[in-house]
Amino acid sequence: MNRRWLLAAAVLAVVPASRLAAQARRSLSVIPTVGYTLPTYKWVEDPAVEFKPGGGLFVGLTAEYSLNKSFSLAAHGLRTFGLTQTFTVSFPGQGEFESDMTTTQLAGGIVFRPLGRLPSGAPKSVYMEAGAGLTLFSVATGFTAAADSFPGFKASSPFVMGGMGLSFPAGPRFSIQVFGRAQYLLSNYSSDFLDYLNAPPPLTPTPLEGKKGLMMQFGLGLRVGR
């Protein structure tokens, strides 16, 4: 009888331990993503001239390394399609010009899963993320001049970000992720063309100043791995 009780106790001890081991398992996941990114502010806003970046569709790739059942390290990169994102220069009351632009981002951060993982090691639904990275803006100059020497609009800025998402299982090692991110750019917009407008004789009585602001992202991802 004592042996039976010992065997039962051993089984009860092993099962939770095996589940905990599965949840604590370290793993690497790859997540292709698609979505939409949208700057919510104007780079330059003055009664004489405005620089306004538009939103665009992006494709990206995220690599996530799970440290335990709740925390992971993540790195991602993305780029917008030039034909889906535009940049507009407006001269109020006189006209405006529009060109294609692209946004490229590289970032890293931490992913937190407050609900942990399933016994199989698959992530549960809700997750949050925080991190930082670098944004590169590239603008075509076809509407200004064909000469390569003409000042351009390209710019860059570091950013900090926060976001949330949901995971929906789609197979033993697959899940679909829906996410949203808010990114705050830390540098005021600056470019060769802005310097050109501020050079003597300046376009405005006071120098034009670039702004910094918020970008939003909404997307889908296919998580491959646990």
Q: Domains of the chain by range and CATH? A: 26-224 (2.40.160.20)
Contacts of 92 (CB under 8 A, 6+ apart): 47, 48, 49, 50
Predicted TM-score (pTM) of this structure: 0.81
Which DSSP helix (H) or strand (E) runs through 19? Answer: helix 2-23
What 8-state DSSP symbol labels residue 123?
A: B
Give the C-alpha distances (Å, rounded to integers) separating 156 from 9, 85, 88, 110, 139. 61, 16, 17, 23, 11
Q: What does the mean pLDDT of the chain come to?
A: 84
Query: What's the pLDDT score for residue 170?
Result: 81
How far apart are alpha carbons 86 and 70 in whole angstroms?
Answer: 39
Mean pLDDT of 159-172: 90
Query: What's the pLDDT score for residue 141?
Result: 62
